[in-house]
Structure 1
Amino acid sequence: MQALRESQAAQAGSNITTVLAGSDFDEEYLTSVKFGEQEFMLIVDTGSSDTWAPQVGYACFNLDNKPVSQSQCAFGTAGFDSNASATFRADPGTNFNIEYADGEFLSGTVGFETVTVGNMAVANQEIGVVTKAAWDGDGFNSGLMGFASPNLTFVFNGTNPDDEGPQLPYNPFFYSAVQQGLVSEPLFSVALDRGSFVAENSSDLDQNLGFIAFGGIPPVEVIDIAVTVPIQGYNAATFIPENGTDVTYFYYALDVEFMSFTGNEEVFGTTNNIILDSGTTLDYVPTEVADAFAAAFDPPAVKDDDFGVYTVVCTATVPEFTVNIGGVTFTVDPADNLFPLGIQDDEGNDLCASGTFDGGPSTGAEGNVFILGDTFMHNVVATFNIETDEITLTQRAPYTSGGSRRAPASVRRRGV
């Protein structure tokens, strides 16, 4: 990582860094994005690939596909007026159609637009223009910017989203930036800050909650613990993770050697299918890891199916969670595994939730996808090289931002 810092410092203008904001009780990470001259706050998502915003006049639906008022979708703006943009060009004969892991879904048309983040303008970027949205918004975000592989884009041939034609993969925003020579290094880095107690008890926009850097690394303090590992590929026919040269890339997935926590003597948690996803609040780990970690809280955390988390009194002592990747152990600050739920138990104690949850068994269940979400990503700088298909993780220096975290009524899981 030091070599990367020195390399980038020597290349003036190569590192285009923009600040991230926090919304939805600091559980979403947004950045300012322009479509032409129209500006929006979009969610930064390393777990998906499409960039989209709603079209002015879009139809809003609930998750049961019933029409509701636009206020229920809670976008931060009225939407993108494609007709008012001099740089927008429609792509006839295609449609955009995507569903996220938390049940949100969107569909609409497709076009090409100048998309700008910071001072980096990507010309003729393919985008989704949403005309139908089932979206649980926060009053600030007006869409999403995805950073994963072109193979994970959701544009299809044909104009009817209910009758999908062949998938038409395209270059997501950062892939286009590299292709157009806008950065000198084919990598981007994400540093997500843990929100303060005050901010995470507020629905206001938190203006400074991390960075995304294009072509370099963000200005945060790190320590000398780092590793560079290959991105995990998949068998395109079976969607099962595989190592080797004849693989297809979708997510930013990693091989994990093992997971552990303070006081644990068991070696477990090995998986070759765990995704780095800035659009997911929690870490979703194998069942045996999640259960053992919850039991190690003092007093123990208990799985609550109603909330979809492990709950525990907020005064609990939390073990330090660790993840070993490429032979290097990364630590998760206990503050990231204890956040208030805004409710009390029968004895009047404030209840919190663990940032680590059960993603299903690690064996005997093909298709389980595990995630290192914001809980883990608060503790590292994640650098994604789309040319070498590698990820560099660097441990961040310990930091304090005012206390433990707070979750909204339902945590986010916006992978596709």
Structure 2
Amino acid sequence: MWKKIILLISTSVALVASLPASNAKPIHLQLQNTKQSSSFEKRSLSRKEISLINDLDLGEVAVKLQIGTPAQEFLLLFDTGSADTWVPSQQCTSKTGCPDFLKHYDSMASSSYRAIDNDKLSITYGIGSADGHYFEDVVSFGGDYTNKKQILASVDKAVGSISHQDESSDVDHVFLDGIFGAGLPGGTVRALQGGEEYDPLIVALYKSKTIPNPVFSVYIAQDDAEGSVILGDVHPGYNFIYTAALGARWSAHVTEFQLQTSKNTTNFKFNQKTPFGIDTGSNFMYLPAPLATSLAKSITQQEKLIQEKSGVYIMDCQLQDSVDFVKIFFPSSDFPGKSIYITIPVKELVSKREDDGQCLSLFLPSSDKFILGNMFLRHFVTVFDFGGKAPRIGFAPVKHLESS
């Protein structure tokens, strides 16, 4: 796909009908930052390469929920890049990719469990995969909010990051048991493989009138602050700008990147709209390779770049004090034919590795899928709206960026 996209560089001085839910209340969930010795993200560097950068300020975002009667609690990666919610089954062992220290769903212990015959799950991520089967059970959040008949998946075999979590070397001894898919019905594995669509958890909560609005909002906190997800409402006090989401995916068209310095503006334009996943299940920004290279050269003012085996660029640590910034442009969903943009400081695209003091880029070149992950999204409150005629994605800078 990228071979058909031309990067032009120039330098100059609904998806879900609205339903009445008057008695419903939003669900506020704490978004936990978990730092693992090997990253859990679905699209990532290889495990060998992860060790090169795992002491950067990286972490996964996770929420707790309960499944079954009586409730069995799990900590799941909150993932806007997929739509299926899954947990390890009792049949998934350390030999088949589910370490013993993870929480495993016990269907025999739940009186509300219902098997779904001949309905298998087989999903492949950027790295890794999961195989199992769909089932139906009660899902709750802290016992206060419940969806009584939710379709989920129980995984019998996993390959990838969940299998690589290490009990002996984990930083916080907090382990991610599976994935909370925050996507849309058409993005479920069942739908993508030609089966009957079902409502993923957040959509089902709205249709069952458990939450009041067809929307959820994500704030990924930095440092020791607490992040949060609001299901059924948005974080208050922010002014959001919106772009259309593409089909059944939480992705959006990007038309241009722009680097602004005190002396000039460099534009990186695409000759066509280019889809980027807005993905809380990934840490890094994955950019088209020509863009990543050109942006790195422009930021560093160096024609010859140095990259580590992982693909990240070596950066001058002085860039952590840079006053330059990057703008990313999207088509506006509110004003047809117009563009919107969001801004991120260059200094927030550079992070220092603790063990050797080397500074590295938080964006990497990619030859296929392009992603704006958590290292980018943590600077914005992001809204995922699945109401109205078409889904849309909204952005607002977090308060510390607004005031800087």
TM-score (normalizing by structure 1): 0.72
Seen in structure 2, the aligned counterparts of structure 1 residues 100 and 299 have a Cα distance that, compared at 3 Å, is same
Counterpart mapping for 1:76-87 below 5 A: 77-87=102-112
Measure, in 1, the Cα distance between the counterparts of 2:292 and 2:313: 9
Q: 1:75 to 1:336 in 2, by over 3 A?
A: farther
Contact 2:241 2:395 in 1 (8 A): yes
Pairwise CA distance, 1:191: 1.1
**Sequence identity, in percent?**
21
- Equivalent pair of 1:299/1:312 in contact (CA under 8 Å): no
Q: Aligned partners of 2:355 and 2:305: how far apart in 1?
A: 15
C-alpha separation in 2, matches of 1:188 and 1:305: 37
Structure 1 consecutive aligned stretches of length 4 or more whose deviation exceeds 6 Å: none
Pairwise CA RMSD: 2.7
User: Residues 89 and 292 (structure 1 numbering): CA distance in 2 closer, same or farther, change over 3 Å?
Assistant: same
1:307 aligns with 2:318: no
Going from structure 1 to structure 2, the CA distance change for 1:399 and 1:266 (only over 3 Å counts) comes to closer
State the secondary structure of the residue aligned to 1:49.
coil
Name the amino acid aligned to 2:369.
V
Q: Which runs of 5+ in 1 are unaligned?
A: 1-10, 62-66, 157-163, 200-207, 233-248, 345-349, 361-367, 401-416
Match 2:234 to one of 204, 217, 227: 217
Give 2:244's aligned residue: 230
1:28 corresponds to? 60
* 1:351 has 2:358 as partner: yes
> Which of 6, 26, 40 is residue 74 of structure 2 equivalent to?
40
What's the secondary structure of 2:205's corresponding residue?
A: helix
What secondary structure does 2:286 align onto?
strand
Residues 310 and 165 of structure 1: CA distance in aligned 2, closer, same or farther (over 3 Å): closer
Cα offset for 1:79?
A: 0.9
Give the Cα–Cα distance (whole angstroms) in 1 for the partners of residues 24 and 197 of structure 2: 30
Q: In the alignment, does 2:349 pair up with 1:328?
A: no
Distance, in Å, in 2 between the alignment partners of 1:304 and 1:83 is: 51
State the distance in 2 between where 1:184 and 1:211 align.
18
* Alpha-carbon distance in 1 for matches of 2:159, 2:381: 32
Contact 1:275 1:371 in 2 (8 A): yes
Letter in 2 for 1:29: V
Task: Give the aligned partner of residue 142 of structure 1.
Answer: 177
Alignment of 1:106-255 (within 5 A): 106-118=130-142, 119-137=144-162, 138=165, 139-155=174-190, 166-194=194-222, 196=223, 209-218=226-235, 222=238, 224=239, 226-232=240-246, 249-255=247-253
Please tell me whether the aligned partners of residues 110 and 155 of structure 1 are also in contact (alpha carbons under 8 angstroms): no
Q: Compare 120-129 and 328-337 and name the one that shifted more.
A: 328-337
Question: 1:139-159: CA deviations, max 9, x gaps?
Answer: 511000011121221248xxx
Between the aligned partners of 1:269 and 1:375, the Cα distance in structure 2 is 23
Structure 2 alignment gaps of length 5 or more:
1-21, 37-57, 166-173, 333-338
Give the equivalent residue in structure 2 for 1:374.
374
- With over 3 angstroms needed to count, the CA separation of the structure-2 counterparts of 1:74 and 1:307, relative to structure 1, is farther
TM-score (norm 2): 0.74
Aligned residue in 2 for 1:161: none
CA distance in 2, matches of 1:376, 1:74: 30
Distance 1:97 1:112 in 2: 17
SS in 2 for 1:14: coil
Is the 1:43–1:145 contact (alpha carbons within 8 Å) kept by the matching residues of 2? Answer: yes
The SS at the match of 2:146 is: strand
Deviation at 1:15, TM superposition (A): 2.3
Aligned residue identity for 1:217:
V
The count of aligned residue pairs is 331
Query: Deviation of residue 175 (structure 1)?
Result: 1.1
Which amino acid in 1 is paired with 2:154?
Answer: V
CA deviation after TM superposition for structure 1 residue 60, in Å: 3.9
Q: Does 2:398 correspond to 1:396?
A: yes
Distance 2:341 2:285 in 1: 16
- Which gives a bigger RCO, structure 1 or 2 (Cα 8 Å, sep 6+)? 2
Structure 2: which amino acid aligns with 1:108?
G
SS at match of 1:56: coil
| 2:376 aligned counterpart, secondary structure | helix
> In the superposition, relative to structure 1, how do residues 14 and 165 fare at CA in structure 2: closer, same or farther (>3 Å)?
closer
